[in-house]
Structure 1
Amino acid sequence: MKLKKYDKFIAILFVILTISFIVLAFSNRDFLDWAFARHHNQLSWYIRPVFLIPFCYFAFKRSSAGISITIFALLTSMFWFPEPDSVSKQVQDFLQYEVEYLTGDWYLAKILVTLLIPISLILLGMAFWKRNLWVGLLVLLFIALGKILWSIQSAGESGKSIVVPAIVGLVFCITLVYWGFKKLSKKSNESISK
């Protein structure tokens, strides 16, 4: 309960940290290159979707702080792992495309497509905030399929390198989110009936 009163303060703090991280990544090419060198480690590809589980949990619990901490962790997880000794050509080409995408010119269509990321997270958060499991699972499916389709459509053959991590992440997330939602809903219903 004590943490609940600091929820908004913590949320604002992590929103500021997240924005600072994004600004640093876009304004400092050395930092971006350093981060993407570590993002070549595919462990970061597998761990990133897992952050959607605590995101959904904190939305269900209506914790803005939990949501903002999870988003910060999700973004920074790209460089949590050491730079790998060897990387497949497909992974290398795909991440090179992503760096070029991020550092290239920003035109209206690109901005609109990129805005799908925060929009999908807002929709995911709203679904679980309102405790709508099926809409939440549908948004999770949309996020995974959107990432796969965008990767293959935009980066071609190298974009296929994201398929396995995205599908593994999707199955893992849907399974745990479904189980957790049912467990939390049952617990909530039991406490209401007492």
Structure 2
Amino acid sequence: MDSGGTDSYFFGTIIINCQDNDTKLSLIDGQQRTTTFILLCKALLLRIIQAIKETKKDEESEDLTYGLMKRRDRIIQILYKVSDSQILSVLKDLNSAPIGQVLENNSINELYKNELQTIIESPDFDLAEQRVEKIKYKQKDNKYTNFFKNFKFFHTKLEELSPSEANVFSEYILDKSRLLKYEVGMLNRL
């Protein structure tokens, strides 16, 4: 993005198993990539909401405000699985957003299966920090799970961006990044 390149950023590949007539999707490969993207989107949503508040309400800033609002709405649709008509109700109170399961974690090895959902459901960074799991006998940042550590990293980095920079970054992430998705179906057994 900083180099001014015109090529899209390639996130990588995910493989999805389609089940129950394609009404339920199960992630076979790309869990870390997907989780990281979701955490980035949540941190970016919080930064964009703040950037909109910081942006002057004058004629010169109309385009910036419009761009920020447009990207904010897209991220809300990604994270909260809502339609265009539901975005305003989500914005009124992120605490009571109609949140579905963003990414179901069926790993038998994951100790903190609900951590991603807890972060997504939190209306701001401070509440996310209060609500997430704290690992016993650990101190400072080591007391947090990797989910929250990654979210905190994104949040901290995005806070350094001006509203204009946040708009450009969000445009790049949402419009100039690519992901290759493979969908595989279950074979009917005789």
TM-score relative to the length of structure 1: 0.35
The structure whose residues are more often helix, as a share, is 1
TM-score relative to the length of structure 2: 0.36
Greater relative contact order, per chain length (Cα 8 Å cut-off, separation 6+): 2
